[in-house]
A and B are shown apart, each in its own frame.
Chain A
Amino acid sequence: MNQKIVIVNTGCANISSVKFAVEHLGVKVEVSDDVNIIQKADKVFLPGVGSANAAMASIKQKQLVASIQQLTQPVLGICLGMQLMVESSEESLSDNTPCLNLIPGQVKRMQVGDLRLPHMGWNTVTPVGDAPLFKGLDDNSYFYFVHSFAVGISEHTMASCQYGMDFSAGIHKDNFFGVQFHPERSSNAGAQLLKNFIQL
């Protein structure tokens, strides 16, 4: 596979683990916040951990908002990177944080009753229909999650997960894909998902 894979340097901490995981698949990958490099990529990763507020501030400061919105190649948001793809996030001290608005939806604090938050650990994920990113994976494969906020179920849900509530483990619209879990930390299942994305 001779593709240009670019990880958007969102200034967040899990970039190196995403890079290592993609490199394990035998493809080269570049971490960049240069608009020209990102635009020319065949596949783009949008990673993220931390808070939506801080991540959006970093993306704005790097003047990347419009260029990410205009991408037409497949883009995969991971964890907070996925949450940044929807309209807004209520993970903020004061108001909702406006996000990239690539896929309809809102990020809300999870309501899980007596269960513990963060939702941390390996949980089973159920793909919706023939979601291409889940090709070759069992219907109840385990993926690694760490989060307290989530996007609810909608027509854009490509995979669901259950933890006190049903929520989107993955979302998809047009060329934009997002997963709430960490494929880079989800062993063989995660590697398969990353491979599926790169082969799109």
Chain B
Amino acid sequence: MLARRIIPCLDVKDGKVVKGVKFRNHEIIGDIVPLAEQYAQQGADELVFYDITASSDQRVVDKSWVTRIAQVIDIPFCVAGGIKTVEDAGKILEMGADKISVNSPALADPELITRLHDTFGQQCVVVGIDSFYNEETGKYQVHQYTGDESRTQVTAWQTADWVKEVQERGAGEIVLNCMNQDGVRKGYDLAQLSAIRTACKVPLIASGGAGESIHFKDVFEQADVDGALAASVFHKGIIPIPELKAYLRTQNIAIRN
């Protein structure tokens, strides 16, 4: 039976793993390679490395750490951030990443998703979506350039429409980051994820809000997501991965042992 995936996300800034609250005030958590190795050994099913500076700084970012990660870990990993062209993606995949994830550049140029799909195949192409629930309008809106507070902007896309668009263009997986919940550890946005699930025919990964083990159980059971991504609860040791997986198994959720 296909297992639900537990995915630590390592936000990377200047070669270090960082974490901010609601995308702000980034604090350094540690070096990338030892953290990646540690998570793989603890039973993480996959890792996502998100270079949060890359998309917004408009600079070429040193990605040599991708090779160093590929050399030490034996689980799949995805690299996100700053991938604007097919060439950028090709370099990352050649360095040993299994998937690449695009977010802001895909909003700027949706055709990028099509080109990535046609060049590398659907299985490599992940689209990350930063979705914010606007309480005044009652709508979920896609945001762009969230790595840099001063450049973050709301786009014209409502989240469900963008989810459909990226699938039509060849996305193989969608990571939905629910911004209202990010970093506050009150649980995943079950209402939004459930709504998006019905529109999402490719694997869907929940992101934003994990604080306790029960939040993982809830998001798998209630929103039927394929994987749950989290950062601070793992980095800070609030939820040890082996205990989380043991707990989810007792709740009859398919989890890799």
In this complex, which of A49, A116, A148 has the most chain B Cβ atoms within 10 angstroms of its Cβ?
A: A116
Q: Quote the shortest CB–CB distance from A192 to chain B (angstroms).
A: 11
B226 within 8 A of A: yes
Chain A neighbourhood of B172, CB < 8 A: 118, 120, 146
> 1/0 contact trace for A155-173 toward B, CB 8 Å?
0000000110000000000
Chain A neighbourhood of B96, CB < 8 A: 14, 16-17, 20
Indicate whether A120 sits within 8 Å of B124 (C-beta atoms), given known contacts A13-B94, A21-B74. Answer: no
Indicate if the CB atoms of A24 and B74 lie closer than 8 Å. Answer: yes
Indicate if the CB atoms of A146 and B98 lie closer than 8 Å. Answer: yes
User: Interface residue tally of chain B, by bracket?
Assistant: 35 or more
Residue of A nearest to B5 (CB): A121
> 1/0 contact trace for A88-99 toward B, CB 8 Å?
000000000000
Q: Which of B46, B122, B257 contacts A148 (CB 8 A)?
A: B122
Q: Quote the shortest CB–CB distance from B7 to chain A (angstroms).
A: 10
Q: Which of A116, A117, A123 contacts B1 (CB 8 A)?
A: A123
A81 within 8 A of B: no
Tell me what chain A mostly uses at the interface: helix, strand, loop, or mixed: mixed
Indicate if the CB atoms of A17 and B70 lie closer than 8 Å. Answer: yes
A190 within 8 A of B: yes
Q: Quote the shortest CB–CB distance from B97 to chain A (angstroms).
A: 9
Indicate if the CB atoms of B74 and A120 lie closer than 8 Å. Answer: no
B240 within 8 A of A: no
Binding stretch for chain B, among A37-45, A60-68, A69-77, A178-186: A178-186
Indicate if the CB atoms of A16 and B95 lie closer than 8 Å. Answer: yes
B152 within 8 A of A: no
Chain A neighbourhood of B215, CB < 8 A: none
Chain B neighbourhood of A51, CB < 8 A: 121
B38 within 8 A of A: no
Chain A neighbourhood of B46, CB < 8 A: 121
Q: Which of A16, A121, A190 contacts B45 (CB 8 A)?
A: A121
Indicate if the CB atoms of B120 and A13 lie closer than 8 Å. Answer: yes
Q: Quote the shortest CB–CB distance from A9 to chain B (angstroms).
A: 12
Chain A neighbourhood of B122, CB < 8 A: 118, 148
Indicate if the CB atoms of A119 and B94 lie closer than 8 Å. Answer: no
Chain A neighbourhood of B120, CB < 8 A: 13, 49-50
Chain A neighbourhood of B1, CB < 8 A: 123-124, 162
Q: Which of A120, A124, A144 contacts B173 (CB 8 A)?
A: A120
Separation of A146 and B5 alpha carbons in the complex (Å) = 13
Indicate if the CB atoms of B257 and A142 lie closer than 8 Å. Answer: yes
Q: Quote the shortest CB–CB distance from A121 to chain B (angstroms).
A: 5
A187 within 8 A of B: yes
Chain A neighbourhood of B67, CB < 8 A: 16
Chain A 115-135 residues near chain B, CB threshold 8 A: 116-124
17 contacts between A and B (CB under 8 A): A13-B94, A14-B98, A17-B70, A116-B204, A116-B226, A118-B172, A121-B227, A122-B45, A123-B1, A123-B3, A124-B1, A182-B98, A185-B75, A185-B76, A185-B98, A188-B74, A191-B74
Residues of chain B touching chain A, judged by Cβ–Cβ distance below 8 Å, are 1-5, 40, 45-46, 67, 70-71, 74-76, 90, 93-96, 98, 120-124, 172-173, 200-204, 226-227, 256-257
The 7 A-B residue pairs with the shortest CB-CB distance, nearest first, are A13-B93, A146-B123, A142-B256, A16-B96, A122-B256, A122-B3, A50-B121
